[in-house]
Amino acid sequence: MEAIFIIEKLVLIVVVFVLTLVIAMYSTLAERKVAGFMQDRKGPDRAGPFGILQPLADGGKFFFKEEIIPAGAHKGLFIAGPTIAIITACISSAVIPWGQSLQIGGRTVELQVADVNVGVLYIFGVIALGVYGIMLGGWASNNKFSLMGAIRAASQSISYEVAMGLSIIALLMVTQTLSLKEIVAQQEGFVNWNIWVQPLGFIIFMTCAFAECNRVPFDLPECETELVGGYHTEYSSMKLGLYMFSEYINMFVSSAVMSTLYFGGYNFPFMYDLGLSQNWITVIGVLVFFLKIFAFIFFFMWIRWTLPRFRYDQLMNLGWKILIPLAIANIVLTGVITLIKDTYW
């Protein structure tokens, strides 16, 4: 364990961290711009050219607002809620391989913060922890809307976690490894992408990702028309900001996970046929990866302005009675087909 290893990792962590925050910030602007585009209007365009400074203005405003802790609230947990939410959102990106390796001065620098043997499960664990931030915040507020929103959010997220886990099992039967690095390395080129062998699994996974991020059409925990603001009704200033931020970070990370697992991560067609050096392949790979992520983020927003919200019983029925049986059927199908292929081909 040399010091240079730690420094290298720290630099990578900080770069990823800053990138995550910037992307989360600009997702808010992008969301409003997309909304404007879909509804045939301009969206924010006053702060800077094309409203490019809008997120900075919003962020600054969050800091300069008064923070209000309601009289009946449990003070410690009220503060802990958004902190836990942002921490869990920020650590989930640790195992994602952002690119291949760079050769810098004779050292090979892996563009992945931590290559752990159980990468997929690590992400699951962190997602499972995300429930705490919402639940504690909602409970500590001592507000009926908040509590309702928190409990809805928690039971929604745990319901869809099951289907998500089952859809991943089918993928793992194909990849035979839990390490995200190896999963991406297997999907070299274009025809090896996992989406071609696991289309049903991907659809289930994506639906669950929408539900885990509390995005429309699964935004029942915070639906304005019923619950005012859901679990963050009582929150103000940067505490509210942190909740929203963690939501956008979650959206970014789940887009990254979807492109890693199913769309080949940093792989792009003909990557080894162009005669490029390793460093160039890596750089282009990183750009391609981010393009895929942005495409998914756009998809998230597109859905938001297209679909209406589910009713609560519909949400639960979809999670338990449709997605889980479908995911199990997918596992059975994958198992049988793979075995038949292995024995008779």
Q: Closest distance between another protein and the C-beta of residue 180, in Å?
A: 12
The tokens describing 211, both together, are 């539900």
Cβ-contact 273, 311 below 8 angstroms: no
Nearer to another protein, 21 or 303 (CB): 21
* Binding of residue 338 to another protein (CB under 8 A): yes
Does the protein bind another protein through residue 143 (CB under 8 A)? yes
Q: In whole angstroms, how close is the CB of 37 to another protein at the nearest point?
A: 31
Q: Is 323 in the site for another protein (CB under 8 A)?
A: no
Residue 136, interface with another protein (CB under 8 A)? yes
Out of 66, 272, 308, 345, name the contact with another protein by CB under 8 A. Answer: 66
**147 to 166, contacts with another protein by CB under 8 A?**
147, 151, 154-155, 158-159, 161-162, 165-166
* Cis, peptide link before residue 217, omega less than 30° from 0: yes
The verdict on 257 binding another protein (CB under 8 A) reads: no
What would the x/- binding string for another protein be over residues 205 to 244, using CB under 8 A? -----------------------x----xx--xxx-xx--
243 contacts 235 by C-beta, under 8 angstroms? yes
Find the part of the chain contacting another protein (CB under 8 A) among 43-51, 173-181, 190-198, 294-302: 173-181
Counting contacts by CB under 8 A, is residue 103 touching another protein? no
Measured from the CB atom, the residue of 165 and 189 that comes closer to another protein is 165
β-bridge pairing 97-104 and 107-112:
antiparallel
Instruction: Pick one of 24, 25, 34, 135: the residue that binds another protein (CB under 8 A).
Output: 135
What distances in angstroms separate CA 70 from CA 82, 146, 224, one per listed residue? 15, 12, 20
Number of residues in contact with another protein under rule CB under 8 A? 99
Q: Is 270 left (phi over 0), alpha (psi -120 to 50) or beta?
A: left
The residues with which 104 forms a beta bridge, in sequence order, are 107
Q: What is the DSSP string of 278-317?
A: HHHHHHHHHHHHHHHHHHHHHHHHHHHTTSPPPPHHHHHH
Does residue 62 belong to the site contacting another protein (CB under 8 A)?
A: yes
Nearer to another protein, 276 or 337 (CB): 337
Q: Which is nearer to another protein, 223 or 238 (CB)?
A: 238
Contact 235, 142 (CB under 8 A): no
Task: Kindly indicate which of the ranges 44-52, 123-131, 195-203, 213-221 contains the residues binding another protein, using the contact rule CB under 8 A.
Answer: 123-131
Amino acid making up residue 42: K
- Alpha helices for the chain (secondary structure H): 3-38, 54-64, 75-91, 119-140, 144-175, 180-186, 199-212, 224-227, 237-262, 278-304, 312-317, 324-344
Task: Say whether residue 102 binds another protein (CB under 8 A).
Answer: no
